[in-house]
A and B are shown apart, each in its own frame.
Chain A
């Protein structure tokens, strides 16, 4: 009986080791949206190419950061994606590894701003998007971000809450329009705070905007361009404003987790994700705008994304260091002047 048990254990152990040797596993942590599409366009083709197995964890940027921090002595995640500010936070906490860009054959194909977005060599941008103003063309004229504060419009405007990714960039653009572009956003918040009761809402979920626009609750709202598809489908005269200050830009970046055991495989995966065919496919599915400048898209696809050098070069990116260093102060200021 004992011999049989021993034999079974040995068989199980050897079998397990052999299986592990045959199939390397890469654990990635990404945003939870459009996972079916990512699986089809990115994960499955990569698994087929590397002969390895991908384990995909999903969640938001903050959850990922907390998890990386908790497991820093024995990392379980090999590669993760972050907002720029959280990528910088991870780097400052010593949770990420410097990227060997020589191993990323597609690195040179990226827009310059995506090559090393935080300037610390720890991350690489894989998608970017613009944040601008969608508005009712029949009800108002928007030529500047400051127009959102005009008395005749403010009662029909929704702004993003400071807790959303759009909060900081939008207030920064309002500050820029008011000629008071300070990193602490104090002037912009004071201007918004003065009219806090008149703004329709400070939204926490951009999915609300389609409904608010449809119900004519709002005429205008600043939003990430990823929300534009839903708004533009409404049977209403809506447009994407061309303001003299331009649109705000934001980016998501990939990082390599410090101490991960599969760094080479993780770099291969990053390179695969940045390659022209994969970036094209993801863009054509209208999931993420390409950071690879060699991607060529049909006009009807391009207009739904943040695409092209012309668009990219006009965007104002709020430095991640500013977001990170000031977001506590923004929050305190927001709570005293706007949320209360």
Chain B
């Protein structure tokens, strides 16, 4: 498209400079705080953080929840995306519109809606009682399950949209060809669809995992503060303890986990492709 690389780079330069100034520089300043001490540069804030058993527990819990949300959203996302790409053009447009709609609503409003749905008098408890699965309202709100449901609903649209775009770019006859050659549906998914849509899975997976890891309001409100997560811990360090050093350590861990997830997903996708 461009005559030479220099031309392309020149066009990308303003956006790159803007991103560097308003994003990269502040992030570096915040992260540098975690390595600074009156005596000079040090890792002591990190060793202090990891020597605390509670912090390790919270880190593991945050990771596990992020992973669970990502895996479940990938499973539901593939099914939904597959159904949607096979609709007529107008049906597809309508469905994509419906999926995108929640993204336009504030996460706070969406989280409050879950308080109504999962409450003692909410629709879930009413349904459970109506079908005789429970005699009295079950406590669903303010549990780890509620946080999981809230996060899944928050980020599932991102996975579905990424997978729709990947499935649309896949050659339509690939599935048919695999079926004709005798592959069952599992083999079709594992050997044809997954390798051909890996880019979408990497993008969706990164967005969902990163989002789940860093969401604050959903775990804080739906978890009822009984379940500490890394992001709630970070909030505590800043607002109560006024301790920006530990907060910077937590921020660094969160950013590292996000990058690691992205690299890992990419690696998995490429490895599958080479086989």
Contact = CB atoms under 8 A, between A and B. Distances in A.
A201 B228 contact: no
Interface string B34-52: 0000000000000000000
Contacts of A66: 242, 244
Contact of A215 (B115, B221, B224): B115
Contact of A203 (B119, B225, B244): B225
A211 B236 CA distance: 24
A216 B119 CA distance: 9
A210 B44 CA distance: 44
A163 B236 contact: yes
B82 interface: no
A215 B119 contact: yes
Nearest to A204: B220
A208 interface: yes
A215 B242 contact: no
A161 B54 contact: no
Contacts of B227: 339-340
A60 B227 CA distance: 25
A215 B241 contact: no
Contacts of B239: 60, 62, 163
Given A89-B242, A201-B142, A338 B226 contact: yes
A162 B240 contact: yes
B86 to A, nearest CB: 40
A157 B51 CA distance: 35
B142 A200 contact: yes
B242 A62 contact: yes
A314 to B, nearest CB: 28
Interface stretch (A33-41, A144-152, A177-185, A327-335): A327-335
A202 B225 contact: yes
Contact of B120 (A204, A217, A327, A339): A217
Contacts of B120: 215-217
A29 B122 CA distance: 42
Contact of B141 (A196, A201, A339): A201
Most chain B beta carbons < 10 A, residue from A65, A89, A211, A215: A215
A340 B52 CA distance: 12
Nearest to A160: B225
Interface string A208-237: 100110011100000000000000000000
Contacts of A211: 112, 115-116
A336 interface: yes
B226 A340 contact: yes
Interface in A158-217: 161-163, 196-197, 200-205, 208, 211-212, 215-217
A57 to B, nearest CB: 18
Nearest to B141: A217
B115 A212 contact: yes
Given A62-B239, A215-B121, A331-B240, A208 B116 contact: no
A336 B233 CA distance: 12
B235 interface: yes
B238 interface: yes
Interface string B195-217: 00000000000000000000000
A77 to B, nearest CB: 18
Contacts of A340: 54, 57, 226-228
Interface in B163-221: 220-221
Given A161-B225, A215-B115, A335 B54 contact: yes
Interface string A308-340: 000000000000000000011011000110111
A216 B121 contact: yes
Contacts of B142: 200-201
B226 A202 contact: yes
B116 A215 contact: yes
Contacts of A338: 225-226
Contacts of B226: 196-197, 201-202, 338-340
A160 B220 CA distance: 12
Contacts of A201: 141-142, 224-226
B55 to A, nearest CB: 9
A217 B225 contact: no
A331 B233 CA distance: 10
Nearest to B55: A335
26 contacts: A65-B242, A161-B225, A163-B240, A196-B226, A201-B142, A201-B225, A205-B221, A208-B221, A211-B112, A211-B116, A215-B115, A215-B119, A215-B121, A215-B122, A216-B121, A217-B120, A217-B121, A327-B241, A328-B240, A331-B236, A331-B240, A335-B54, A335-B228, A339-B232, A340-B57, A340-B228
In the complex, the 3 A-B pairs of residues with the closest C-beta atoms, listed nearest first: A201-B224, A202-B225, A201-B142
Given A201-B141, A211-B115, A328-B240, 19 more contacts: A62-B242, A163-B236, A163-B240, A200-B141, A200-B142, A201-B142, A202-B225, A204-B220, A205-B221, A215-B116, A216-B121, A217-B115, A217-B120, A327-B240, A328-B243, A330-B240, A331-B241, A338-B225, A339-B227
Interface of A: 60, 62, 65-66, 89, 161-163, 196-197, 200-205, 208, 211-212, 215-217, 327-328, 330-331, 335-336, 338-340
